[in-house]
Structure 1
Amino acid sequence: MYLSKIHISWLQAQNTYQLHQALWRLFPDCEEADRDFLFRVEQMQKGIGAEVLMQSTTQPQSNEQSPALLAEREYVLNVQNGQRLRFRLRANPIKTIKDSSKGTVEKKGKTFTKTVRVPLLHEDQQQAWLERKFQAFAQLDTLIMQPEPVLYFRKAKEGRSGKIQTVMFDGILTVTDAEAFNYEVKQGIGPAKAFGCGLLSLAKI
């Protein structure tokens, strides 16, 4: 995998959807491929732009149309069962509920009530959500949660806008299943990955 530090211009950084589209330009031959990168905005400066940390399976390629690639290094994730690590994760803790006002959908000859995603706003709910996400591969030892401002986005082509509620999780975990852990780090944790959520950053203690 590769870890990269990237600068996104202020014009593109103002809208999270456009920021995500800008990152795609670092992979010019992968337009039709599934996204294999995760990212997190580390710093945003009005009028200047965003500094972004990106994890990718494919090596990014800087070009005239892409954002500025400030730094890059290749790394191999090599963890062991029982290993303790510091972590940072920006996530979008949610639950999915049925909403009859949205109507129904047909699947395999059966009718189901449509569902909607609802943000989890209380700290105990957010911690429980993270513990559920970790339970197959890690034990949560310590945790600090920092609620963040609502993130608004707009998809100009679709004429649609929306918002998500993100939380920054910092803490210490213990690896319980190294193989599953490696897989989840590559896949990312939780929803809203296109909006800068899901990147699990790790550091040795």
Structure 2
Amino acid sequence: MFLSKVWIGWLSAKDPYQLHRALWQLFPDRPTDERDFLFRVEEQQRGKGAMALLLSAEQPQSASVAEVIASKPMPQNIAAGARLRFRLRANPVKAIKDSKRLDKNGEAKSIRVPLIHEEEQLKWLLRKFAGVAELETARVWQEPALFFRKQDMGGKIQPVCFEGVLTVLDNQALFELLRQGIGPAKAMGCGLLSLAAA
């Protein structure tokens, strides 16, 4: 896996869906592949562009809409018992049945709704780390809603940023979390877990 810093021009950076499409261009000749990268916008300058952190299976290559500023292989030697600082932008949600929306069998469809209370958000985070890492501390930062357009439809997600300190319980499971990401809305810049020495 590679960890990279990427600059995305404003035309693509101003909409989360377009930003995701711009990042795809860093991996040429893969139009039918499934996404195997995660990203998180670290800084956005209105009218100029955005700086994003990118975790990918392949090393990215600069493209016309996005420039790779730095890229390095991600260390693979985190040991069980290691104490690390973490940061995660996520979209904590729960599934509920919506009786107004029915599937083809006439049953209520399951829909995702955001968890809006900090206590619920922290419980969600604990469930995601269960058996993988023990949380020593965790803070929640509420972030602005992300509005996006995909084809002719609009959408909105409500991300939050978690920061804190954890102790690794299962390093293989931790690498799987790093690789897969945590929670939904990964195409909108959620799910990337970053780690540093505590």
Q: TM range, normalised to the smaller chain?
A: over 0.9
Residue-pair matches, total: 198
Counterparts in 2 of 1:169-180, with a 5 A limit? 169-180=162-173
The answer to whether the 8 Å contact 1:105/1:113 transfers is no
Distance across 2 between alignment mates of 1:169 and 1:127: 9
RMSD: 1.2
Is residue 135 of structure 2 the alignment partner of residue 140 of structure 1?
yes
Alignment of 1:43-192 (within 5 A): 43-63=43-63, 65-106=64-105, 112-155=107-150, 157=151, 159-192=152-185
Q: Which amino acid aligns with 1:10?
A: W
Query: Tell me, what secondary structure is at the counterpart of 2:100?
Result: helix
Q: Which moved more, 1:75-84 or 1:184-193?
A: 75-84
Distance across 2 between alignment mates of 1:72 and 1:79: 19
Could you tell me how far apart the structure 2 residues matched to 1:24 and 1:136 are? 33
Do the aligned residues in 2 keep the contact of 1:105 with 1:114 (CA within 8 Å)? no
Whole-angstrom distance in 1 between the partners of 2:173 and 2:3: 20
- Which position in structure 2 is the counterpart of 1:23? 23
Q: Contact between 1:10 and 1:46, CA under 8 Å: does it hold in 2?
A: yes
Deviations 1:7-38 (A, max 9, x none): 11111111100000000000012221111100
Cα distance in 1 for partners of 2:38, 2:5 equals 12
Q: 2: CA distance between counterparts of 1:83 and 1:165?
A: 31
Misfit runs of 4+, over 6 Å:
none
Q: Which moved more, 1:69-78 or 1:50-59?
A: 69-78
Report the TM-score, using the length of structure 2 for normalisation: 0.96
Question: 1:139-176 CA distances to partner (integer Å, 9 max, x unpaired)?
Answer: 11101110011111111x2x000100000100001111
Q: 1:195 aligns with which of 188, 192, 198?
A: 188
TM-score (norm: length of structure 1): 0.93
Q: Equivalents in 2 of 1:80, 1:112: separation in Å?
A: 47
Give unpaired runs (5+ residues) of structure 1. none
Q: Any unmatched runs of 5+ in structure 2? A: none
C-alpha displacement at 1:112, in angstroms?
A: 4.1
